[in-house]
Structure 1
């Protein structure tokens, strides 16, 4: 039988994957562990290798280093740690990146939005409105 810590981690990965399937990507799935060439715990979180953590003691620096290594292994441009918030549901968890990764991601979003706005301004306005209303 798995240890209680392993069972908690598995439950968190399963719950988060279900949330991502419902709200982001229906094809998201848990990855098989690959040892030293691990590619993150969940695939299907757009452009990211997601490293999920459900631990009593949170060590962000370790989580981010692991997520960034796994992003490189997975061929994804961004790594993130998805940290369970104690006594809270999935939507209240934390997605964490280092500042360098976050700036690269925001630069990409900015550039892609500028390109879409120039190429298809009506489509841009509809997408922008949809996301503003969802906030």
Structure 2
């Protein structure tokens, strides 16, 4: 979509998402593009969803650079701490739910 592209798929929570299905995978290019598009989209994180050849989308990969992943994990940790502080029982129930989900 040009120099102000905002990603390929909207609605991937907090992310600008770059979708790729190519014969040759170039992660560094995908991540650079996703990070640029996150800025354009006003999203805090960029990631690429990379489809594996001859596999379904569900067998693909969600990829982000380490710096982005660290920022995401820091946010998750801070938000979980905030939820524990104001609604520990709700946090506990959600934690239990997500630990047992497959």
Q: TM-score, normalised by structure 1?
A: 0.74
For residues 101 and 57 of structure 2, what CA distance do their matches in structure 1 show? 18
Of the candidates 13, 17, 38, which is equivalent to residue 46 of structure 1?
Answer: 13
Paired residues for 1:26-65 under 5 Å: 34-65=1-32
Q: CA RMSD in A?
A: 0.7
Structure 1 runs of 4+ aligned residues shifted over 6 Å read: none
Which structure has more RCO (C-alpha within 8 Å, separation ≥ 6)?
2
Unaligned ranges ≥5, structure 2: none
Unaligned ranges ≥5, structure 1: 1-33
Q: Which has a greater percent of helix?
A: 1
In the alignment, which residue of structure 1 is the partner of 2:34?
A: 67
Helix, strand or coil at the partner of 2:6: coil
Matching of residue 112 in structure 1 with residue 87 in structure 2? no
Q: TM-score, normalised by structure 2?
A: 0.97
Helix, strand or coil at the partner of 1:43: coil
Helix, strand or coil at the partner of 2:62: strand
Q: Which string of whole-angstrom CA distances, capped at 9 and with x for unpartnered residues, describes residues 85-117 of structure 1?
A: 112112211000000000000000000001101
Of the candidates 83, 92, 95, which is equivalent to residue 128 of structure 1?
Answer: 95
